[in-house]
Chain A
Amino acid sequence: MSLSTDPLETFREEAKELLVTLEESLMALEEEPQDHELIDTAFRALHTIKGSGNMFDLDRLVAFAHTVETVFAALRDGSLELDRRLTDLSLTAKDHLADLLALGDGSDPEIEQRDRELSSRFTAYLPEGGAASAESGGSAEADVGEATAHDGPGAGVADDELKDEAKDSTYRVILKPSLETFRIGGNPLLLISELQELGQTLVMGFVADVPPLSEIDPEGCYLHWDILVTTAAGEDAVRDVFLFVDGEIDIRVVDEGGFFDTDINYKRLGEILVDRGEIKPEDLEHAIGSKDYLGDVLIRSGYVTQEQVQSALSEQNYVRKMRETRRQTESSSTIKVQTEKLDELVNLVGEFVSLHANIAMLAEQKGDQDVRSAAEQMEGLIRQVRDLSIDLHMVPVDLLFSGFRRLVRDLCADLGKDVHLELEGTETELDKNVVDALKDPLLHLIRNSIDHGIETPEERSAAGKERAGRLKLSAYYAGAHVVIEIDDDGAGLNAERIRAKAVDRGLISAELELSESEIQGLIFEPGFSTAENATNVSGRGVGMDVVKRNIENLGGSIRVRSQQGVGTNMKIRIPLTLAIVEGLLARIGDGMYLINLAYIVECLELADVVDDSGDQIIDFRGEIVPYLDLRRFFRLEASENGGGQVVVVAIDDRKVGLVVDGILDKYQSVIKSLGKVYERAQGVSGAIILGDGRPALMLDVDRLARVTREELR
């Protein structure tokens, strides 16, 4: 026989040979009607044609072969005798099978007519005249049903049911493989791991049945398991896993996962054991009478084993945990709260923090140990409430970023630019108020970037850049701050032109030597940007100095880094929350000042680190750091023991020292605005009310650091 690569062709060839075999045995049976081996051969030929034909969907052939095969099965088991008439009929059937084989899927009225005639003549040989003999499983349709039943989840009708109620249910599977399991190629571990793919499981193994070493059959399987599985795949999927288990298997739903099934508490230990059939209810009744712990009593009385109790307890625990998780996820849906209410809450918490500071101070003064420890406990609680209320106020920065997509698109259309906006770290969370306050500054910076930064496609091509410009907004956490960067690959800042313009505007003297980054920083100076360079997009009378001022009002800072021809990077650092600032309380003269803890590197005795040269610098771990005497800066009267402490602060890794008279304590508080009158006051950015009612000023560390560096020149 020549082998075709098409199995259907091969089948045709094979079936032809089988028909020859059938014919030969039929001829031989004419001589020896009682020869069992010949009947068997004929039967097998028909059976193979039917079996293989089924795989190729040759329904008519299969149906007819089945009818004839049923008659031959009767001949084989002796319930029917072969006579001359049947032999003749069978030979005709063989020819008909050959015709059906040749016909395949096609149709031929003559053959179909003969098919019906022959079929009814064969079925006439069978008891009750039906083709459905006791041995037969029935029609081809039934076969298909059989086959798909193995397909498990994702097949047939079960799928639709699942869509309706894809709820997690928990099933208890009691798996007791037979002793023979390993010997017949079974592997319970595979079943368990297959089950684990369905969902969360708890597997409890029982080893109590393992006999002593002297009696053990090393190839026998003595283990059994209780398995809990939580899955939305449905009971059929669970049963499917254990389709071929040799041994005992019991699968039962223990938790439906319904919405109303919300009672966290699961069955009690005794109930579970009865449920599993491990203890008789009357034995349980008997044991419950005892005062001792039920599990112990049951084990001691020999009703159940230690392992069984352990397993039941694990089940109890598992279902309870699962229900708890479910309840949590069901109730984790959000509710909307007006931001004003949240603001109010944060405010109140802030007041609470201040009040606590007052109490702590009083307790300290009174020296009452009890009040002090109560105040300390309170501090822990307040911290939690504070963190939670701040957390409530956090929104992802995406809220801000994604709003700019439209802006970028519209700006591109207006200005004839092609800009691709990238957003990164959009899940970073910020205080809702900070996000709101950042909107205008960012809007301005993005406008600037597209208007002045990114070139037209033509200019970009000429410069060897891609025609489309790239603008990237990214956000990430940095300690108690969030950093937002606006990065473009545009033309960058032209240092010479900035310098010339700054001189022109009288911002700097023509002789002043400045580093490149200092020159770039000039764009934030008041009076630098004017209406002259404003297009109708950017500008609008708002300069970069306003952007900077806005950001500083939020307790943040902004830096620019740019390389001509390559691009510009704006880096905004902003505190996570505006509501409450944690700072170090310092004394300068008679006043109290708060320094934001987020900036502080270290506090030192000035005398230990001061440089003798007379320049205002200190030696901070081998690093030359300029310092500013705040007493002098704020023009305060010198007190006799003043200027003793230096607080080293760092902004963007650049350190400066701030000299104060004394450092008092860590302090957290709500920052109050100073109001319009003090808008131009330099070096302070807000005020707080101390525990004893005195006010303290919040130092504008960013501004002071800049002043310090300027003074050094």
Chain B
Amino acid sequence: MSDTILIVDDSVSMRQMTSMILKSGGYEVLEAAGGDEALKQFSNDVKVVITDYNMPGMNGVELIRTIRSGATNKSVPILMLTTESEEAKKNEGRDAGATAWITKPFEKETLLKTIKKISGEVSF
């Protein structure tokens, strides 16, 4: 029973790259190209959401707000991806309810470690 992670990014290559990293870490992966598509795929089975900040249509922060104010799985850990020129957006994401954030580009280990940190996979 591996955990399912929802990746939301308008960039196919980023989704593909992130997905490969996560699969190597033993996770199941769902992909969405934007906020609206993400909400359609979102369910109680999703253990972690990884969302890009900058996307056409509904952006990352709007997606986080929508999830946090929704009825389903609203306390899901959400990891926001930003680029270095979006430092200021971190606070926006944090206020919207992002659990954690990492800056692109990131190392494979950084992503997996952060996911582990927020998904509850810490051994007791």
Residue numbers of A with Cβ under 8 A of B are 1, 3, 7-8, 10-11, 13-15, 41, 44, 47-48, 50-52, 54-57, 66, 69-70, 73, 135-138, 142-144, 146-148, 150-152, 180, 182-187, 190, 193-194, 197, 219, 241, 243-244, 246
User: Which residues on the A side are within 8 Å of B123 (C-beta)?
Assistant: 193, 197
24 A-B residue pairs with Cβ-Cβ distance under 8 Å, sorted by A, are A7-B16, A11-B13, A14-B13, A15-B13, A41-B56, A44-B54, A51-B105, A52-B13, A135-B85, A136-B84, A136-B85, A144-B105, A147-B103, A147-B107, A151-B107, A180-B97, A183-B68, A183-B97, A184-B75, A184-B78, A193-B122, A243-B100, A244-B100, A244-B101
Q: Are B107 and A51 in contact (CB under 8 A)?
A: no
User: Which residues on the B side are within 8 Å of A10 (C-beta)?
Assistant: 12-13, 16
**Apart from A3-B16, A143-B104, 15 more pairs, CB < 8 Å:** A7-B16, A10-B12, A13-B13, A41-B56, A48-B14, A51-B105, A54-B104, A135-B88, A137-B85, A143-B84, A143-B103, A150-B106, A150-B114, A151-B110, A184-B98
The 10 closest A-B pairs by CB, nearest first: A137-B84, A11-B13, A185-B77, A185-B99, A244-B100, A54-B105, A184-B97, A7-B17, A10-B13, A7-B16
Q: Is B118 located at the chain interface by the 8 A CB criterion?
A: yes
Complex: A543 Cα to B75 Cα, angstroms:
83
A140 to chain B, nearest CB (A): 8
Q: Are A185 and B75 in contact (CB under 8 A)?
A: yes
User: Which residues on the B side are within 8 Å of A66 (C-beta)?
Assistant: 85
User: Which residues on the B side are within 8 Å of A138 (C-beta)?
Assistant: 84
Which residue of A has the minimal Cβ distance to B73? A185
Q: Is the interface of A mostly helix, strand, loop or mixed?
A: helix
Q: Are A185 and B56 in contact (CB under 8 A)?
A: no
User: Which residues on the A side are within 8 Å of B100 (C-beta)?
Assistant: 243-244
Residue numbers of B with Cβ under 8 A of A are 10-14, 16-17, 20, 52, 54, 56, 68, 74-78, 83-85, 87-88, 94, 97-107, 109-110, 113-114, 117-118, 120, 122-124
Among B10, B13, B99, B117, contact of A184 (Cβ-Cβ < 8 Å): B99
Q: A147-B107, A183-B74, A193-B123 are in contact. Are A52 and B14 (CB under 8 A)?
A: yes
User: Which residues on the B side are within 8 Å of A183 (C-beta)?
Assistant: 68, 74-75, 97
Which residue of B has the minimal Cβ distance to A48? B11
Among A137, A150, A219, contact of B113 (Cβ-Cβ < 8 Å): A150
Which residue of A has the minimal Cβ distance to B64? A184
Complex: A13 Cα to B100 Cα, angstroms:
30
Which residue of A has the minimal Cβ distance to B104? A51
User: Which residues on the A side are within 8 Å of B17 (C-beta)?
Assistant: 7, 11, 52, 55
Q: A190-B122, A246-B94 are in contact. Are A14 and B12 (CB under 8 A)?
A: yes
User: Which residues on the A side are within 8 Å of B110 (C-beta)?
Assistant: 147-148, 150-151
Q: Are B10 and A185 in contact (CB under 8 A)?
A: no
Q: Are A190 and B117 in contact (CB under 8 A)?
A: yes
Q: Which of B13, B54, B124 has the most CB of A within 10 A?
A: B13
User: Which residues on the A side are within 8 Å of B101 (C-beta)?
Assistant: 244
User: Which residues on the A side are within 8 Å of B85 (C-beta)?
Assistant: 47, 66, 69-70, 73, 135-137
A130 to chain B, nearest CB (A): 14
User: Which residues on the A side are within 8 Å of B87 (C-beta)?
Assistant: 137
Which residue of A has the minimal Cβ distance to B69? A183
Q: Are B113 and A152 in contact (CB under 8 A)?
A: yes
Q: Are B124 and A193 in contact (CB under 8 A)?
A: yes
Q: Are B122 and A185 in contact (CB under 8 A)?
A: no
Complex: A464 Cα to B115 Cα, angstroms:
59
Q: Are A150 and B102 in contact (CB under 8 A)?
A: yes
Q: A44-B54, A51-B104 are in contact. Are A14 and B84 (CB under 8 A)?
A: no
Q: Are B98 and A7 in contact (CB under 8 A)?
A: no
B14 to chain A, nearest CB (A): 5
Complex: A244 Cα to B99 Cα, angstroms:
7
User: Which residues on the B side are within 8 Å of A50 (C-beta)?
Assistant: 83
Q: Which of A14, A41, A138 has the most CB of B within 10 A?
A: A14
Among A69, A147, A150, contact of B105 (Cβ-Cβ < 8 Å): A147
Complex: A246 Cα to B84 Cα, angstroms:
21
Which residue of B has the minimal Cβ distance to A136? B85
Q: Are B83 and A47 in contact (CB under 8 A)?
A: yes
Complex: A15 Cα to B106 Cα, angstroms:
19
Complex: A54 Cα to B20 Cα, angstroms:
17
Which residue of B has the minimal Cβ distance to A241? B117
Among B77, B98, B102, B124, contact of A147 (Cβ-Cβ < 8 Å): B102
A676 to chain B, nearest CB (A): 67
